[in-house]
Each structure stands twice: as structure tokens, then as C-alpha cells.
A and B are shown apart, each in its own frame.
Chain A
Amino acid sequence: MKKLAAILLSAAMAVTLVACGGGSTAPASSAPAESAAPAESAEEAAAPAAEGDTIKIGYISDLTGATSLWGTAGQHGAELAIQDINAEGGILGKQVELIAMDGKGEAADSVSALKKMVEENSIVAEIGTNFSSCNIPMASVADEAHVPIIGTAASNELVTVDENGNLHPYSFRMCFIDSYLGTVIGNYATKTLGMKNAALFTVAGNTNSESVGAFIKDAFEANGGTLVAEEQCQEGDVDFRTQLANIGSKNPEIIFVVMNDYAKTATFAKQAREMGIECLLMGHDGWDSAQLAGEAGGALEGCYYVSRIGFNTPEAKAFGERVVAEYGGTMEAECLFGRDGVYWIKDAIERAGSADPEAVRDALEQTDVFEGLIGTLVMDAETHNPSMACAIYECKGDAFEFKEIVEAQ
């Protein structure tokens, strides 16, 4: 019986996979032609050039697969940044060159791409990938090769610190770890909104929800606030009135709703209003959906969530538009990571006064503040986890609008 169920399941999965593949080949198919060519020509061109003539920066991401939409966006951002830098005279008087290789979004391919560019291209540093699953194994390779790597959207804690809590000295990242938003939310609620009593709602067993929730609690209580109610639901729940009745009886001024599913958040808000709970609701990047405000049908009016800044500054928007004008496609925030990665390495090389990978690593680690298009980044030398500026979004009518930037904390 199990066997048959397994066969049926796998058949069903195969059907979905084929269907998914069908949908995503369109954007992917155009990518390899564009991306493979510069990568190869760059390698060929690099070989005859004498060592030290140019500064080579590596870039690894999925350039041909299902997620190449992001991978190529990052590559394009990095290329455009290098064009700009070269036009202004390069770094320390040397021209800069991007070595882009396809990691296919797979750990094994990303690791071999990194080894190849370290051995054959003598890169100074590498940018990417956007996946924790790739950057975790890449971190050990970087440590051995003594070449710094910078993950873009790789948010898992193990990217920069191993299971035993030891730092990977050559592994960095440009995004904040999942739980960081909790601190930002807790601080904003107390310091900016002046909230004293709050309730916390998380999803039991969901690592992201529980860890963000724990950080909200720590920050909120550290600033003198009181958590009057803590409730949880289970994955897949659609009715929250039981927990809401408990929360409502404590009369909180604000409820932190840490769910990663916008429709559940909308249902939560509607049920809260139905039960006469009119207080403010606030959430994390799990609220980041264009549908949320409309789905909530007014129940979230005036409520906030905290997330990345994205294209909400004029500079970031202008750069995103330049990338689209140059390479086509859609505006993907990954292009900002690619661009900022290049500029961060430039900043490190200039501070170190040398393009030696080890010197660059030290300079990256000693970054006080790096002002990029993704926001202000403050490096923590102990963990290599940056604190970053975030954006507050407020619900107005049928959409969430960018409200303000909160600085790194």
C-alpha cells in the first residue's frame, strides 16, 4: 500500500515538476547565452594578461537554472558596477574584471566553480551565491584557499559560523540573518511607537517564526515593555479565534504577528477585528506580499511591517532601472547585491591598500560602516553577520507603502 502511495505521489510530483519547469524555462533560456559568453571570454582574456594587471572579482550564482532570474540579475548589477569603476580609473589604478561562473544553485557546482576561479583566475574575492545551501559548503573552501567570499541573500546562520560556533574567517554576507528583524521590530515598537504592552503570535515548530518572535520579545522587554500574552498556532491553521480570545482578554496595545503566509496573516487580522480587537498589528518580512493589504480588506489599515529596503530609495531605483535598460528583464533586488558586493570589495581593497585576498579579508572584517544601495551595513567582526538599515512599510488602503528607513542597530 505504501509502495503504491509512493508511486502515485512520485507520479504527481513528476507532473508538478514538469509543469513548473515549463513555466520557468522562458526566462532561463535567454540567460545562458548572455551569461556564458562573457564568463568564457573573460577567462580567455584573463589567461594571457599578466598577473596583477587587473583585479579579478568572482561571481557565482545560478546563471542557467530555475532561479537564474536572480543569479543573472546579480551578475548584471556587478558588471555594471565594474563598468562604472573602470570608467573612473579602476581600483588602486588597476582595471577590474568580473569572473562569473554558473553554480546552478547547487552546492557541488558552486563549490567547484569557486575552486576553479581561485586556482585558475586568482580572484581577489568572490560574490555570491544567494543560497545558504551553497554558501555553507563554500565557506570551508574559502577558509582553506584564504580567499574571502561574500554571500548575497544567504541568511542561514551557518553561512558564517559553523555548527560549533566557530567563525568561518573568510565567509561574509550582505544580508541580515532571519532573527535580526525581530530586534528591529521590538525596538521600533517601543522606541518609535511608544508601545508598553504587547502580545506575540508565532507558528509552533516554524524555525523562522519562533526565532524572529524570540528576538522581538528580547528587544521589547529590554526596552521596558511587557509581553502580556504569547500565543501560537500550528502550521496549516486557519482559525485563530481561540488564541485571539486569549490575547483580547489581556488588552495589548500591539500584537506582533509572525507568520510567513500572507493569507493567514490577513485571516488573523480579519478575525481579530471581528472579535473587537482594534489594536495595532505588526509583522516581519513574512508580510512582504502585494496581496496582503487587499486580502485583509481594511483589517490591517495603519499596521506596519519591517523588511528590506529594496528599490525604495531613489538611488536603488535608478540603478535597478539602469540594469533593466542595459540587460532587459525585470527589476530584481539581487542586482543591488551584485553592485554593492563589488563596491564593498573596492572599499576594502582601498582601505587595505592592496589587492591581496588576505588583506582584503581583514579589511572586510574591519568594515565600520558600508553605505550601499541595499542600505547601510554595519559589520560584526565576531559573527560576520551585518546589521543593516531596514524599511518600515505601512498599510494604506489596498497596499502597503514605504514609510521610512530605520538605521542599522
Chain B
Amino acid sequence: MFFQQLITGISVGGIYALLATGYSLIYSLLDFSNWSHGEFAMIGAYTAIVFSTVVKAPFALAALAGVAGGALVSFLCERFAYRRIRRNGAPNMFLMIAAMGLSNVFQQASNLIFTGQYRSYPFQLPVSTVKVGSAYIGVLDVVSLLITAVVLMALIYMINKTQFGLNVRAIANNAGAAKVLGIKVDSNIAKVFLLAGSLAGVAGVLYGMKYNVFPTMGNVGLKAFIASVIGGLGSVPGAIVGAMLLGVLETFVSAYISSSLRDFFSFALLIVLLLVKPSGLFGVDVQDKA
């Protein structure tokens, strides 16, 4: 029982992690919470649906198209909305409001285009389970956890070991100084949005495979946001740890206390953590949280 619930918690946490890292990346650069981030996952999931049902592409290709779809929309949001607001010298609050607006627009638009109907991929996904001890582990869960792990490890490598990662860290530290030293701030920000969008796309496709695709599925972004705050906004490893912690906590609360108290515990954890350690578990930046 305990083992079973732990597995479930980790698999829920994996989806949170893919989205939470996106929140963290963008927050670290621009100091604002990109509220439309969850919708990038939804758009990625629908892109994969369109590719697999209308274009009739094989699933691997449709999934890649989904990832690309999330990345593209994220990039376009930056290019045509956030960048302009930044250039106007408007306060960060404006970015957040724009993001909320975009989130609504995307949700309503997908409601209009695809209707509220639930959709699933037209492929027989592996629904078999492996019995480990007393626990059942879904093959799909294992596959999606593996993909999540690989993607997140690649992300951490990219941030810590590549020139691009160094640039991003430099901008996060001091954008003005980075610019003076010859780092192209705007193009690096655009790349981060592409990266965050593609992570959201992965999350969206995996989420769609496990559950269903529907216009409000991006609401899972709220949980991912909490996870990234718990981990410390702006910290990628923090976001991953926060997401796993939140996934497991939610599962255990549902299993051993009560499902109706689950969200109460999630938010209580957030509040307690903000009181005790305002910068989050791995956080570096204290002020202007959320």
C-alpha cells in the first residue's frame, strides 16, 4: 500500500516537475510568474491530437509536434507580448497580467476550436501493468517517468554546463551587466521561452497520454507553480524537488487522511514554507515572490 502510493505520488510529481521548471526558468530571468505556462502544455497536447488525428502522423512524430507546438506558442508569446511590455519599461506586474489574459484567451480559444469534449490519442497506449511486490506499476507511468527524468537531466546539464546555460545564469544574476559584457539578452530570453515551452509540451503530451486532453487541462499549472515556489522560485533543481515533494504529499494526504483535504495540505505547506523559509527550499531570490 505504502509503496503503491509512493509510486503514484512520484508519477504525479513528474508532471508537476516538467511544468515547475518552466515557471522557474522564466522567473529567474524576468522576475514574473508566467501564468499562461500551463496553457502551453494544453496547446502541446492539442497539437499532438491534431497531428495524430488530422494529419494521421505516427505517434512519435505527433508527440514531437506537440512539444514543438508548446515551444512555438511560448516563443510567440514572448516575442509579441512580453518583449513589448518589457521594452515599454512597464512594471513586472504588467507581464503577469498579460500572462493571465493570454491564459484565458488560449483556454477559450481551444474551447471554441476543439469544444469542451475530452479527447484521447488514437493509439493503443500500453495500459499493461507490472506487479512489483504488492504494487501495480503502469508501463505508461514508467515510460513517462523515464522520459521526464531524461528531459530534466538534459535541462540541468544545459543550464550548468553549456555556454547557453552560462548566459542564462548571467542574465538571471544581473541582466544589465550581462548585456554590457556582450550577452544577447533578448535572444537568450527567447531561447528560454522556447525551452520552457517545449518542457510544457512534453508535460502536455504525457498528461494527455495518461489522462485526457481537454481545454482546462492547463489548470494543473497552478500546482506546478506551487511546487516551484516550494522549491524556491528561480531554481531549477528546487522546482524538481518541490514538484516531487508536492506530488507525494498530495498522494499521501489523499490516501491516509482525506481526498477532500488534499489541496488544503498543499496550500498549508506553501504558507508554512513561505513563513519559515521565504526563499523556498533552494531559493536565491527572496523579494517579489509570485
Q: Interface on A for B, CB 8 Å cutoff?
A: 1, 4-5, 8-9, 12-13, 15-16, 19, 204-205, 231-234, 236-239, 241-243, 245-246, 249, 262-263, 267, 270, 273-276, 291, 295, 297
Given contacts A204-B259, A245-B8, contact A12 B118 (CB under 8 A): no
Judged by a CB distance under 8 angstroms, whether B251 is at the interface is: yes
Docked CA distance A56–B136 (Å): 66
**Measured CA separation A46–B101 after assembly (Å):** 56
Contact in complex: B100, A295 (CB < 8 Å): no
Shortest C-beta distance, B188 to chain A (Å), equals: 28
Q: How many Cβ-Cβ contacts under 8 Å join chain A to chain B?
A: 90
- Additional pairs, 8, CB under 8 Å, beyond known A234-B260, A238-B211: A1-B97, A12-B105, A19-B112, A204-B259, A234-B259, A239-B8, A263-B118, A273-B127
Complex Cα spacing A275 to B111, Å: 33
Q: Which residues of A contact B251 (CB under 8 A)?
A: 242
Please list the 4 inter-chain residue pairs (A to B) with the smallest Cβ-Cβ separation, ordered nearest first. Answer: A263-B118, A238-B211, A204-B260, A242-B254
A276 lies within 8 A of B129 (CB): yes
B254-A16 in contact (CB<8A): no
Cβ-closest chain A residue relative to B102: A8
Whole-angstrom distance between the alpha carbons of A246 and B210 in the complex? 20
Decide if A239 touches B12 in the complex (CB within 8 Å).
yes
Q: Interface extent on B, as a size class?
A: 35 or more
Cα of A237 to Cα of B4 in the assembled complex, Å? 19
On chain A, the residues within 8 Å of B128 by CB distance are 274
Inter-chain contacts of A238 with B (CB < 8 A):
210-212
Pick the contact of B255 from A15, A19, A242 — CB < 8 Å? A242
Question: Judging by beta carbons under 8 Å apart, are B112 and A243 in contact?
Answer: no
User: Which of A8, A204, A273 contacts B101, CB < 8 Å?
Assistant: A8
The closest CB in chain A to the CB of B247 belongs to: A239
B120 at the interface (CB under 8 A from A): yes
Chain A residue contacts of B23, Cβ below 8 A:
none
26 contacts between A and B (CB under 8 A): A1-B96, A4-B101, A5-B97, A8-B100, A8-B105, A12-B105, A15-B108, A19-B112, A204-B260, A205-B260, A234-B262, A236-B216, A236-B219, A238-B212, A239-B210, A239-B211, A241-B4, A243-B259, A245-B5, A246-B255, A262-B118, A274-B128, A274-B138, A275-B136, A276-B129, A276-B136
Residues 207-224 of B, flagged 1 when their CB comes within 8 A of A and 0 if not, give 000111010100100000
Residue from A5, A12, A239, A263 within 8 A of B108 (CB atoms): A12
B1 interface contact, C-beta 8 A: yes
In the complex, are the beta carbons of B254 and A243 less than 8 A apart? yes
Q: For the complex, is B160 an interface residue (Cβ under 8 Å from A)?
A: no
Write the residues of chain B forming the contact surface with A, with a CB cutoff of 8 angstroms. Answer: 1, 4-5, 8, 12, 93, 96-97, 100-101, 104-105, 107-108, 111-112, 117-118, 120, 127-129, 131, 136, 138, 210-212, 214, 216, 219, 251, 254-255, 258-260, 262-263
Q: Is the CB of A16 within 8 A of B112?
A: yes
- With a CB–CB cut-off of 8 A, which chain B residues contact A241? 4, 8
* Alpha-carbon distance A179/B138, docked complex (angstroms): 36
User: In the complex, which of the residues A205, A233, A239, A295 has the most CB atoms of chain B within 10 Å of its own CB atom?
Assistant: A239
Does B104 contact A9, Cβ atoms closer than 8 Å? yes
User: Which chain A residue shows the least CB distance to B260?
Assistant: A204
User: A1-B93, A16-B112, A234-B263 are contacts. A274–B104 as well, Cβ < 8 Å?
Assistant: no
User: Contacts A204-B259, A234-B259 known; A263 to B5 CB distance under 8 Å?
Assistant: no
Residues of chain B within 8 A of A239, CB atoms compared: 8, 12, 210-211
Chain B neighbourhood of A19, CB < 8 A = 112
Q: Is the CB of B5 within 8 A of A242?
A: yes
Residues of A within 8 A of B260 (CB): 204-205, 232, 234
Say whether B255 contacts A263, CB under 8 Å. Answer: no
Residues of B within 8 A of A204 (CB): 259-260
A15→B259 contact, CB < 8 A: no
A205 to chain B, nearest CB (A): 7
In the complex, the chain A residue whose C-beta lies closest to that of B100 is A5
- Residue with the highest number of chain B CB atoms closer than 10 Å, among A12, A15, A233, A270: A12
Min CB distance, A24 to chain B, in Å?
A: 13
Q: A111 to B93, alpha carbons, bound, how many Å?
A: 48
Residues of A within 8 A of B259 (CB): 204, 231-234, 237, 242-243
Residues B211 and A15 in contact, CB atoms below 8 Å apart: no
- Distance (whole angstroms) from the CB of B93 to the closest CB of chain A: 7
Known: A1-B93, A232-B260. Contact between A276 and B127, CB under 8 A? no
